[in-house]
Amino acid sequence: MVIDANEIVTQGELQVTGRLIDASNATLFGECRIGDAALNVIYKPIAGERPLWDFPDGTLAGREVAAYRLSEFSAMKIVPLTILRDGPFGPGAVQQWIDVDETVDIIELAQSHDVRLRKFVLFDAIINNTDRKMGHLLPLSDGRLLGCDHGVCFHEEDKLRTVLWQWMGKELAPDEIQLLQLATERFEVFADAVRDFLAPAEIEATRYRIERLLSEQVFPSPSEDWPAVPWPPI
């Protein structure tokens, strides 16, 4: 019997085997297992979240899941499988662990004009990512590029902070406009899927950001009212 990743992460027994000590919130390493089938995961229990004054509603874990669902509904598919489920320390976000290609210089990649980064710029503009650091990019050995750490996203006020400003003010490509059109067409499905994770005003602000990108058809530029780059940038 073949068991897919979603079934393992959703239904498998979750065991914690370590902790990422550099994370500001509780970030635990472990595995989900069903019989002989197992996947490594990152588990972020809600109980280990530090309160943030500018994100008083919901949970960081819920925002992680919302980012994954937007990535899937919009067909961008740049966020690893992420669900909300119970674990040894209570409910939290559980994300499939990604083995990165350690031969890639992540600083060089983040400062380049690698075309794969454009999708992240578009994605972050939609979810209003306040913390796109270089270390949140996950290059795979098969050439794909994924991203992680989306707990501080979806704020209703514009708070975009990212290290990826290479295309600010540049026109969107036709395929990027198509992604936005698809996100618009599927938005109600996305909205229904994240009502437990985001406030109504945050969902509507997400819709507005997609519509604004479609109307302007250019990548965003830094705001003069908010720091443009997260700290530390790596």
145 pLDDT above the threshold of 90: yes
Domains of the chain: 5-216 (1.10.510)
Is the peptide bond preceding residue 232 cis, with omega within 30 degrees of 0? yes
Rounded to the nearest integer, the mean pLDDT of the chain is: 94
Rounded to 10°, the helix 200-216/116-127 angle is: 130
Tokens of 145: 């590029």
Average pLDDT, integer, range 121-148: 97
Residue 91 has pLDDT above 90, yes or no: yes
pLDDT at 56 over 80: no
Predicted TM-score (pTM) of this structure: 0.95
CA distance to 119, 125, 131, 195, 225, per residue, from 136 (Å): 14, 16, 9, 26, 24
In this predicted structure, the answer to whether residue 4 has a pLDDT above a threshold of 70 is: yes
Task: Return the sign of the alpha-carbon dihedral for residues 153, 155, 158, 161.
Answer: negative
| 105 vs 48: CA distance, rounded Å | 31
